[in-house]
Amino acid sequence: MRKNILLSVVLLALVALHWAIPSDRSQRTVRFFPDMADSQAYESQAPTATTSDYGDLDLRPPAGSIARGFSPFPYDASPEDALRAGLELNNPLSADDPSVASRGATVFATFCAVCHGLAGAGDGTVTPKGVPPPPSLHAQHALDLADGQIFHIITHGQKNMASYAAQVDRTDRWRLVSYIRELQTAETTRLEREKAAAEAAARQSSEPASDDQPASEVLS
């Protein structure tokens, strides 16, 4: 009896398999849980019940959404927005980190020096060839620019200078700001030293030579 039941089960299994495995291999086999294997095909521009807000399947991100990894820069390419960037943005990089200015120097030499000159004096190699020379980055106007304003100028450009946002990424733009500050400090220090030396020389030449001075004055 047991044997008969076993044989019937085997027989049934064989019949089921025979039914489930098609002889035509190009046809699908029977699927028991198709779930979402057969999704309903929509036309990409056609409205659907779930996307009626948008009208079609071509979904746009909701207003104000920001792509992952993207940081917005909510300033237009206008002088007003340059001023606003100057008031609102601070350089996120530390001035004490030497790698900031050293990378800044490399980027400056690559993208900026052709016009601005390696030291930022506005005497880049293209300027004698007809490209309007930029103002010196050591002029009072540039010294007075806020960090955020310089960042805005590099990002959006200014008059004859194009935007460098495509060539120089955001962090490198801040490194450029740090490097420009370093150039400016070096130049200001150099000018102050020169002035002090010139003043000292002028003082010395207007004073009588120490040899002529009475001994009492030299000692006092």
Rounded CA separation 154/46 (Å)? 44
Distances (CA, A) of 112 to 16, 63, 165, 167: 77, 37, 13, 11
**Window of 9-17, 90-98, 153-161, 182-190 that interacts with ligand HEC by CB under 6 A:** 153-161
- Binding ligand HEC (rule: CB under 6 A), the pick from 159, 206, 210, 220 is 159
Single out the residue of 119, 121, 161, 165 in contact with ligand HEC (rule: CB under 6 A): 161
CA distance 88 to 216: 62
Report the residue from 89, 93, 101, 134 that binds ligand HEC according to the rule CB under 6 A. Answer: 134
Choosing from 160, 171, 188, 213, the residue that interacts with ligand HEC (CB under 6 A) is 160
Near ligand HEC by CB under 6 A: residue from 48, 135, 188, 190:
135
What does the H/E/C string look like for 63-111? CCCCCCCCCCCCCCCCHHHHHHHHHHCCCCCCCCCHHHHHHHHHHHHHH
Q: Which of 93, 101, 105, 176 binds ligand HEC (CB under 6 A)?
A: 176
Instruction: Give min distance, CB of 167 to ligand HEC, in A.
Output: 7
Comparing CB distances to ligand HEC, the nearer of 95 and 139 is 139
140: which 2 tokens? 């009072």
Cα→Cα distances 30→27, 33, 121, Å:
9, 9, 79
Query: CB of residue 77 vs ligand HEC: minimum separation in angstroms?
Result: 12
Among 27, 184, 175, which residue's Cα sits nearest to residue 92? Answer: 175
Site residues (CB under 6 A) for ligand HEC, limited to 60-119: 111-112, 114-116
Least separation in angstroms between CB 88 and ligand HEC? 17
Given 103, 150, 182, 183, the residue binding ligand HEC (CB under 6 A):
150
Q: Which is nearer to ligand HEC, 7 or 77 (CB)?
A: 77
One-letter identity of residue 145: L
Q: How far is CA 22 from CA 10, 29, 32, 77, in A?
A: 19, 6, 15, 67
Question: Applying CB under 6 A, which residues contact ligand HEC?
Answer: 111-112, 114-116, 131-132, 134-135, 139, 141-142, 150, 153-154, 158-161, 164, 168, 176
